Structure 1
Amino acid sequence: MLAYLVKRLLLMVPTLFGVLLLTFAVIQFVPGGPVEQYLVEARTAAAGSGSAEGGGFSYRGGQGVDPKRLDQIKALYGFDKPAPERFWQMLGQFARFDLGRSFFQNKDVWQLILEKLPVSASLGLWTFFISYGVAVPLGVAKAVRAGSRFDLMTTLLVLFGYAVPGFVLGVALLVIFGGQLQWFPLRGLTSANWDELSWGARVVDYLWHITLPIVAMVLGSFAVTAMLTKNAFLEEIRKQYVITARAKGLSERQVLWKHVFRNALIPIITGFPAAFVGAFFTGSLLIETLFSLDGLGLLSYESVIRRDYPVVLGTLYLFTLIGLLTKLISDLSYIWVDPRVKFD
């Protein structure tokens, strides 16, 4: 067990290195980098101010930016150094868990993540708890009533929710319940007068705002968990030990909850750690954009569009590391749940 754990931890190092190297190499060939973005802003500022200085950019019309100023801009973003040197410097920072500083927002990447984390965590945790809290009992009920009308109807409903994209469902919810009926707000996680509300009113206001985004996100996640639970229960119900338990005179409830339930939930429980930790850091770009929620999904998208490379690479490093660790915890949880599993 210890040897397996050490081996997995050591394998994380080349995995992280490969992910960062590949992403860094691709970035070098992507047009419109930070320097180019800066020059575009220089042209815009010069056109807006009507002066040659262009808001301090020293933009000289058709001649562009002064060469000395251009060198200063490249040095500001670290592009005055060769790409290999910049890559190794970045790895040294990441080894110290220094994710760098945003080019355009003038904030540390850690600070940006912590600012956006509450929004994504709100969406992720509610989606996680509601999905598992509803999908697991639903899967058990479907397995017990396999082939019945209840099983057929719930399968159709679950698969329909899985087939409809969350973004499309979100638009429909906004139009119907936010626009026509005006039952729910159209944007944000809280109202403008949040600070003036009492604690009870704040809870109600928060739940009022979060309802539509959660509904749009959670319906699509029902299908996988519900069907996985159903199939796991059906597989266990057909095994010999269940037939033996019934032959001994145990009631169906005792057979189901005392014997089948513990074994059938092994594949579900082992996915809990990764799903729970991922709920904090998994941002939904489309849902956050649609409902004007400033979370990690929107941060990642805007960083890619603006070529804010410290944010792109810093968040990639952090989320990849978290993903590798949660995958390891998920694998180890097989042993904790089922001692028969061996990694030899």
Structure 2
Amino acid sequence: MLAYILKRILLMIPTLLGALTITFVVIQFVPGGPVEQLMAEARQTQKGGEGGGYKASRDVDKQQIEELKKLYGFDQPAHVRYVEMLGRFARFDLGRSFMFNKDVGTLILEKLPVSISLGLWSFLISYLVSIPLGVAKAVHDGSRFDVATTLLVLVGYAIPGFVLGVLLIVLTAGGTYLDWFPLRGLTSDNWADLTWPARIADYFWHLALPLTCMVIGSFAVMTMLTKNTFVEEMRKQYVKVARAKGLSANRVLYKHIFRNALIPLITGFPAAFVGAFFAGSVLIENLFSLDGLGQLGYEAVIRRDYPVVLGSLYLFTLIGLVVKLVSDLLYVVVDPRVQFAKAAK
């Protein structure tokens, strides 16, 4: 297993470099960089100020352009900037944002509370609902309950989250009909003055609509995966032998079937759990005015904030590779029959 782990760690390096290199090369051909955007904003400000009575030049001169390029590091060739970027990332220095004038790592930490709130709770709700529902569907395979719940989860899966969000806002958030839920932020303005029970209630009050939009489409995949896995296990020979021995249905289900059927779910647990901390839905965050990682990534792309784009890509890709390795190693924990000796050769 140690050889397999070392091999996987070594393979992470070219994978990480490949993702960074492709993104860096694409960025070089994207029009409208940060310097050009600042120039456009400066010209727009000058046009607006011409009628305001203050003195401003019409064009940004060449010297100012060169100063801006030097400020953002664009006075150096692309290959030099690429090598410097890799050197910073090797020291886990994610760079400094052009747009916010802050370290990228600090920005990500500032946006994490929103993404954790959305991702973690949606993850927990999805697992706590989908797995029991999938087991129940497998036990009652082909029944009216199975057909009805399949229809419900598939309808939920077919509805885009942002469409459901707009509908919920119109119906329950002060749109055309009811005014039951707030539209902005994770907490109310007077949250600090509330008691702890009131704070918790206020927090979930603000999360109700965004969470509904995020989880409603996630039930189908996990529920159907759980059901199909359990149904497949129920048809295997060892289950028939256990039943022939006179074991009760519950004993067969929870002692024999449960462990084997949960292998694909448990091995995917680390990726889903860690992904919850970095989950960011741009549309949902925009719709409910939540300032999370999804919104940060969207603004970074629009404003050409390359340090944020590349720094977050580096961090999330690295985390994803490590979590993928942990997920593979969990196969051995859940099923000791799995061996990595051949994979390491």
TM-score (norm 1): 0.96
Letter in structure 1 aligned against 2:152: L
The residue number in structure 2 matching 1:280 is 277
Q: Secondary structure at the match of 2:321?
A: helix
Asked if structure 2 preserves the Cα contact closer than 8 Å seen for 1:170 and 1:213, the reply is yes
Does 1:234 find its partner at 2:231? yes
Matched, 1:202 2:199: yes
Counterpart position of 2:150: 155
List alignment gaps of at least 5 residues for structure 1: none
Q: CA deviation at 1:304?
A: 0.1
Q: Which amino acid in 1 is paired with 2:22?
A: L
Partner AA of 1:109 in structure 2: V
Q: Residue 340 of structure 1: SS of its match in structure 2?
A: coil
Q: Distance in 2 between matches of 1:164 and 1:177?
A: 18
Aligned residues: 339
Q: Is 2:184 the partner of 1:187? A: yes
Could you tell me how far 1:104 is from its partner in structure 2? 1.7
Match of 1:219 in 2: 216
Query: Any conservation in 2 of the 1:60–1:66 contact (CA below 8 Å)?
Result: no
Corresponding residue of 1:247: 244
CA-based RMSD? 1.5
Per-residue CA distance 1:212-239 (angstroms, 9 max, x = gap)? 1001100111011100000000011001
Q: Give every structure 1 segment of 4 or more consecutive aligned residues whose post-TM-superposition deviation is greater than 4 Å.
A: none
Distance 2:288 2:281 in 1: 11
- Counterpart check, 1:135 vs 2:141: no
| TM-score of the superposed pair, with normalisation by structure 2 | 0.96
Give the match for residue 322 of structure 1: 319
Kindly report which structure 2 residues correspond to 1:1-344, keeping only aligned pairs within 5 A, or say none. Answer: 1-50=1-50, 60-61=57-58, 64-179=59-174, 180-343=177-340, 344=342
**Cα distance between partner residues in 2 of 1:317 and 1:51:** 46
Alignment gaps of 5+ in structure 2: none
Residue 51 of structure 1 deviates from its aligned partner by 9.0
Give per-residue Cα distances to partners, 1:7-56, cap 9 Å, x unaligned.
Answer: 1001110011111110000000000001101101111221233399x89x
Identity %: 69
Question: Matches of 1:185 and 1:112 in 2, distance apart?
Answer: 26
Which secondary structure does the structure 2 equivalent of 1:220 belong to?
Answer: coil
Aligned mates of 1:51, 1:98 — CA distance in 2 = 45
1:277 partner letter: V
* TM-aligned CA deviation for residue 60 of structure 1: 3.5
CA distance in 2: counterparts of 1:150 and 1:334, whole angstroms: 32
User: Match of 2:63, as an amino acid?
Assistant: K
Following TM superposition, by how much is the alpha carbon of 1:130 offset from its aligned partner in structure 2, in angstroms?
0.3
Deviations 1:145-181 (Å, cap 9, x if unpaired)? 0000000000000000001111111111111111221
